[in-house]
Structures are given as structure tokens and as C-alpha cells.
Amino acid sequence: MKRVLVVDYGVGNLLSVRRAFENCGARVELTGDPERIAGAEHLVLPGVGSFGDCMAGLRARALIEPLVAHAASGRPFLGICVGMQMLFAGSEEFGEHAGLGIFGGRVVRIPATAADGTSHKVPHVAWAELIPGPAAVGWEGTILSGTAGGGCYYFIHSFAPEPEDEGIRLADADYNGRKIAAVVGRGNVVGCQFHPEKSAQTGLRLLAAFLDQPSREPDPTILRRMSEASSEC
């Protein structure tokens, strides 16, 4: 049976994430124990609420180091919503906050206007279809490999990442002409801004595709970022 570890660090309700993976046939472990996390194969980092609170929750449980180590190990890593945003170097939500820094770039507020200058709603709460992002690689072999037929995902967020490297933007969503980074990924680390566990059958297919992700060779770019970050300390 497939197994997945969902990081439980005291924010939000993980019932839906657990049930969604169980629906995909996986055995789910919810834990905030750093040692369990260090031994995980497929790892999911969820997140709701504010970026700073989520990072504080990880820090208080001494989870930053094992999470970064997992990202550098080549084992499958999925971040969801704020869990995806925390993969980046930082966020401007309620002041400046440092993130895990696995990807370069910052999380910024969604513009209050559509591309044509008219005002639109923030938070962005909508079911949106994915469109190919600037990343040159296709979706084959990624968590999006089963989604070529389309389908919508449920987004609810006021902030979104601006990746330093456009090459990690696997998929975007269009919000009134504004492109939102919807799925980012490099090597074994992938994140989605939407909630697959709340995106009906389309979302369940994506979670099943994550469970099918193999471990890979550690990604050299992620390793380089990690070593630069540790030498800066």
C-alpha cells in the first residue's frame, strides 16, 4: 500500500487532506515529529492561514531542517496552498517573513485590479483551469500528467508566489488576465497553490499522481540553493 506523510504542525484541519489521500488508496500518517518526517518517503506540507503563522508553527516544532533535508534528498515533496508558498524564500504577508527557501522568489499580494485595470476580488476564490506555465518542460511525468484533459481546481488565496526562476512554473491559472503561479516544481519538489483535496475528482487524480512520483536524484539547483543558504548562516 502507498504511504504518505502529512506534516501536522498545528495549523488548520488536516481531515480533508487525509481523507483525500485515503480515497486514493494511500495509508496516511499525520505527524509533527521531526524524526518521523526525516524518515518519510512521500511528504505533504499543507498550510492554511497566514505565511508567518505557518512558518512559526514549523519553527516551533523544529521542522524546518527535516523539511529542507527532504527537499534535498530527492524524495517526493508536495506543498499545498501556504505549504507551497513556504517553499519560497519569503513572503510579504503581514510584514516580511522568511520561508524555507527551496525555491527563489517571494510571495506577494495578488493585484487588486484585473489586467485591464478594472478592480477585481481578492481573495481569489474560484475554480480555475490550469494553463501551461513558462516552464519549458511538459507535464508528462509530473503530478499534472493525468490532467491533460483539463478540469478545474479550487483556489482560495490572497497572496501568490513570484518565482525567481520562471522555469519552475509548470502551470498557471488565469485570474482576469493576471497569471497566477498555480503549480511550481523542480525535481522532486512540487507545490500547488490550489487545494487538490477540495477539487473533486480532478484534485484526487492529482494526488494519486503525486503518490506515483518516484524518488529522484537530488536536484542540483536545490542542493546549490541549500548550501548557499547554510553558508550564509
Question: Which residues carry out catalysis?
Answer: 81, 195, 197
- Binding span for other proteins by CB under 8 A among 33-41, 148-156, 160-168, 220-228: 148-156
Instruction: Return the C-alpha cell found at 217.
Output: 536524484
Cα 153 from Cα 208, distance rounded (Å): 15
Write down the least CB distance from residue 56 to other proteins, Å.
Answer: 13
Write down the least CB distance from residue 192 to other proteins, Å.
Answer: 14
- Binding span for other proteins by CB under 8 A among 18-26, 59-67, 132-140, 210-218: 18-26
β-strand partners of 182: none
- Binding span for other proteins by CB under 8 A among 2-10, 15-23, 66-74, 180-188: 15-23
Residue 151 binds to other proteins (criterion: CB under 8 A): yes
Q: Which residues contact 227 (CB under 8 A, 6 or more apart)?
A: none
Is residue 39 within 8 A of residue 179, CB to CB? The reply is no
Tell me the per-residue interface mask from 115 to 134 with other proteins, x by CB under 8 A, - otherwise. xx-xxxxxxxxxxxx-----
Per DSSP (E only), the strands in the chain are 2-7, 26-31, 43-45, 77-80, 90-91, 97-98, 105-109, 124-132, 152-157, 159-163, 169-175, 178-186, 189-192
Cα 116 from Cα 218, distance rounded (Å): 42
Residue 20 binds to other proteins (criterion: CB under 8 A): yes
Out of 3, 10, 23, 224, the only residue in the binding site for other proteins (CB under 8 A) is 23
Residue 145 binds to other proteins (criterion: CB under 8 A): no
Torsion sign, CA atoms 160, 162, 165, 167: positive
The footprint of other proteins (CB under 8 A) covers 12-13, 15-16, 19-20, 23, 48-50, 112, 114-116, 118-129, 149-152, 154, 156-158, 174-177, 195, 197-204
